[in-house]
Structure 1
């Protein structure tokens, strides 16, 4: 097992990586059987209480105490006013950690990948006293509350998950009343704090990382083309805030309907295409009225141009991903917004795109994301164990479980207390350096990557340590 001290060690972050040799993965069939059995047991356990306080199955056979009516989600208290309490820590030192995921429903495939990643972290890092208890939230707030109640009554000392913000909101008061911290997979800052941590990637840190790099390279005038939704609004607000102390300027913002099938009209607006096209036609007409050689040569140079003049920005942030990003980049290039005049910038979700270099318009673009090496090693181990590639968010489950397994081996009580979870040095995981902050948000450090014709290349490594925390 990989044993790492979870305390201040000369300013270095705690490494959350397994050191199992390749021979440890030799018998995949046996491993799959063990993991399948764990999942089956967890799903059977989640057939327990219904949202109306009813019962399903023989609770006495589970070894858990009888369940009273479900608590009031607003207060975390039971119907009779009794607070929800978890079981005492076993004298044998067993550490129970629950993981709450929507294992059934629309997100079942993603959740199974995340659960597999968590199980892999247990195999690689945990000792034999660590028990991971999966529970199905069914993709609803009510299901998440029921799963959290079972987890707490089952002795969970830490809750990993849930995935969705609404589910986190339902779980938080129950966990808070029982004195159990929650390390969720959400990226919604609205649910963070007061005993709840979010491991998801928040836009602010990514925007700050790419803006820092772009400004250092002399790109001072920025534009944003963002989806008209909460994510797009957050990105634009963060961009404006990030540029101000760096002496950069946000000269243009434009929002598009993310569900639209054609973004041409949006791109033409942000590209000033009509004005620049009109300027070209006027210039051609002027030159055509001249009969000197200089005018004829100038007219010839304009033959293959659709517009004349540059836009008033030299960097454009595109927070989209997938086919939407490809379409936007292609259209921007078509309407004469591209290198060398304008550099496209991106965020972490660009690393979800397979072969971004396949879109020529993205060549030369920069984006902020975790350094790819650790992620690639994780994907290789996952494929070897489970025969398929992991979902992008599976790394959140791996790092959260690895964090829990590492802290569980550190001894002392409480293993998952606030100070243990928020150690200043942070942790080095699949997605790079991170630490859980007092406000409940996972602070992360990002690399800067460039899309090149041959593939994606890291052009700036992420910081290896955090700056000291300030009060």
Structure 2
């Protein structure tokens, strides 16, 4: 069954499909709908975070934290960071959620950094405001969300008072509003804001002087729509499909139908293409064993693998913000093998005190 479009559509179709043992390739990006026999084909926040953690780990980063908005996207990224660290044998990340208020952002960052508003030391595990299930829903797919994010580009600043957030030097900021501890308890920090809220976060990072080389900043693929305006977090990473991978498909589709394909078309072609590949190889049915083959499938935006638990691992590239009004540059191509790697044995990594 190909085509449950939204999270709600997928939830309604799943019981009947599972009762009939019919596999579902849903076009939603809501990983909460993923389960054995039901695959989420959208480019999910969780998949982006997996790729970022993988790249940061290769750089030598081992202690992950997240400063995230208290909305569905932020919660999805936080969950994704926990899963990614567990999958890759890393210590449990420390996660703090914040509201849109500047004070909430500042307090959350101070807590993550191990200091309170009065300078006292804090324990590692911090949680922000409670989940807001009624906030804006997750976008149905990354590419569609990029179009929405483009409308926010004007609100993301090109420069930030007080210097660049990538200095990584502890001390007073130019505004005198914050002091970073001498040694941060994390060396990679995941963000999830866009638009004006991201400006607030960047101001807090600058005031606390959190950035390179001590901390690698990472964020959502939504940043691609306005990466040229993210100079204050120069050196930050995000994960997204390599645009070059799609060019051939766009050319063929446009020649056939006289218009460019909309983003949702990519997911539809990926789902149908997986079934066609198996049929061409002589498959008589489309059992979970065949669909979850380690070799995966070749999609419009690159390779992808269907995992037994319903998640879809996609080959995403990693891009770095370079500032100065320039677009981000690709620093790591999409991997050719996206099958998940086995994590180190239990006990190989000692988790820090405190919870997320």
- Confirm or deny: 8 A CA contact 1:382 1:390 kept in the other structure: no
Deviation at 1:345, TM superposition (A): 0.6
* Residues 1:370 and 2:212 aligned together: no
For residues 358 and 163 of structure 1, the distance between their equivalents in structure 2, rounded to whole angstroms, comes to 33
Match for residue 191 of structure 2 among 298, 318, 325: 318
Residue correspondence of structure 1 range 93-172 to structure 2 within 5 A: 159-172=1-14
1:356 corresponds to which residue?
A: 227
Partner of 1:432: 302
Alignment length, in residue pairs? 282
Q: 1:207 aligns with which of 26, 49, 54?
A: 49
CA distance in 2, matches of 1:432, 1:206: 14
Question: Secondary structure at the residue paired with 1:344?
Answer: strand
Residue 215 of structure 1 contacts residue 246 of structure 1 at CA under 8 Å; is this kept in 2?
Answer: no
Contact 2:237-2:319 within 8 A present in 1 as well: yes
Distance between the aligned counterparts of 1:162 and 1:315, measured in 2? 36
- Supply the distance in 2 between the matched residues of 1:194 and 1:187 (Cα, whole angstroms): 16
Query: What is the correspondence of 1:34-433 to structure 2 with a 5 Å cutoff?
Result: 159-240=1-82, 242-243=84-85, 246=89, 250=93, 252-257=94-99, 260=100, 262=101, 264-272=102-110, 304=174, 306=176, 307-310=178-181, 312-321=185-194, 324-325=197-198, 327-333=200-206, 336-347=209-220, 349-350=221-222, 353-379=224-250, 385-387=257-259, 390-391=262-263, 393-414=264-285, 416-433=286-303
Residues 105-134 of structure 1 show CA distances to partners (whole Å, capped at 9, x for unaligned) of xxxxxxxxxxxxxxxxxxxxxxxxxxxxxx
How high is the TM-score relative to the length of structure 2? 0.64
TM-score normalised by the chain length of structure 1: 0.50
> Structure 2: which 5+ runs fail to align?
120-170, 343-356
Question: Contact 1:271/1:336 (CA < 8 Å) preserved in 2?
Answer: no
Retained in 2: the 8 A contact 1:209–1:446? yes
Q: Is the 8 A contact 2:304 2:312 kept in 1?
A: yes
| Alpha-carbon distance in 1 for matches of 2:321, 2:258 | 30
* Partner residue in 1 for 2:333: 461
CA contact (8 A) 1:276 1:309 kept: no
Distance 2:90 2:339 in 1: 23
> Which one has a larger percent helix, Structure 1 or Structure 2?
1
- The higher radius of gyration belongs to 1
Structure 1 vs Structure 2 CA RMSD: 3.7
Aligned partners of 2:188 and 2:215 also within 8 Å: yes
